[in-house]
Amino acid sequence: MVRAPFVDSNGIKKGAWSEEEDDKLRAYIQRYGHWNWRLLPKYAGLARCGKSCRLRWVNYLKPGLKKGNFTKQEEDLIIQLHAQLGNKWSTIAAKLPGRTDNEIKNFWHSHVDKRSKKNTPAKNIKGQTSYESKPSEITLCKTTPNEASSLDAIKPQHSTPSFDAYDPSLLSTKEPQQDCSYLPPLPEEDLFYSKFNYGELSSLDSSDYLSALDWINANDDHMSMSSDYVSQPVQGAFWADSFSSNVSDSQSEIIGYVSPQEMGGFYDPLLMYF
DNA sequence: AAGTAGCTCAACCGCGACGCG
DNA sequence: GCGCGTCGCGGTTGAGCTACT
């Protein structure tokens, strides 16, 4: 149902994502965050543009996303919010935990829009009215601070660095353990990366950095989760071995791509900030 | 059974907003 | 204020699936 994969004139792969690409992107972001979408594919070993990576993460790979039909309550809420906000899909999506703007937009165009024109009951793909949960089972569009913050955990605000990938609770509710075989082991000091993305790091001074390390020391349980998550035994340098060994073939075809070997056999994105 | 029209949804594209030097 | 780079949003596309003829 998606475009067939192909490589454009710049060596950038487009079209449907493979499982391997998904794994690479998921593993990279869960470990390092999306500190820079444009550069991320290079470091993650993906022959994709940053935009494509972002879209794939936001709409498909991000933890906490719902899949499947919209409930009647969700549908009603979408209709209500659309009446208030118009085509502000991202704003509407922020009120529907686990739903993406793209999903809501598609839903609107394929279901609600047509139904409003025809004024007929909503039908799902199978031609059945979509009721998946009792009204009491779902509470949406609340605006108390606590609830807002819980929504924020799913849909980070534009102006704040994204921490969602590091939330241990989200990690703990992730889908069945994906294959992280290409994920390199974390040196102890790398645990820092798992909690603080580079957007944040860029604004840290040295005292903040030490505070961050203090935070890590004070949250050993979370860190141990990260360690469990990345359970591969130490076999070599992170950037030189694990990612590059899996992606060297595809990367070698990317124009402008600089391999870890060319960078001296080691990639440390933090070097750009410290 | 074969052909076709309609539908779905992942992915792409273009543009505006924003931040930074 | 200006230019540049990056991000996110909204509109659009198109391949695969399903229903209909």
Residue A69's nearest CA partner among A80, A81, A56, A78 is A78
Q: What's the pLDDT at A115?
A: 61
- Name residues 207-236 of chain A with a Cβ under 7 Å from nucleic strand B: none
| Mean pLDDT, residues A204-227 taken together | 37
Q: Do domains A6-61 and A72-116 have the same CATH topology?
A: yes
pLDDT band at A208, cuts 50/70/90? very low
Q: Which CATH architecture has domain A6-61?
A: Orthogonal Bundle (1.10)
Q: Residues A117-162: pLDDT tens digits?
A: 555 433 333 333 333 333 333 333 333 333 333 333 333 333 333 4
Q: What is the pLDDT of residues A49-77, one digit of tens each?
A: 999 999 999 998 888 888 778 888 888 88
Whether nucleic acid strand C comes within 7 Å of the CB of A90, the answer is yes
Q: Residue A2, CB, less than 7 Å from strand B?
A: yes
Tokens matching residue A57: 């993460």
Higher pLDDT, A196 or A61: A61
Per-residue pLDDT at A56: 92
Largest Cα–Cα separation, chain A: 64
Confidence (pLDDT) at A116: 60
DSSP A35: S
Nucleotides on chain C that have an atom closer than 7 A to a protein CB are 5-12, 14-20
Q: At the topology level of CATH, where does A72-116 sit?
A: Arc Repressor Mutant, subunit A (1.10.10)
In this prediction, residue A139 carries a pLDDT of: 34
pLDDT of A84 strictly over 60: yes
CA distances from A210 to A184, A189, A271 (A): 25, 12, 17
Q: Name the residue closest to C15, CA to C1'.
A: A1
Q: Separation of CA A1 and C1' B9 in angstroms?
A: 7
pTM of the model: 0.59
Q: Hey, what are A53's tokens?
A: 């990576």
pLDDT at A233: 32
Query: Could you check: is the Cβ of residue A127 within 7 Å of any atom of nucleic acid strand C?
Result: yes
Q: Residue A70: its pLDDT value, please? A: 85
Instruction: Please state the domain extents for chain A.
Output: 6-61, 72-116
Q: Which nucleotides of B are covered by protein (CB under 7 A)?
A: 7-14, 18-20
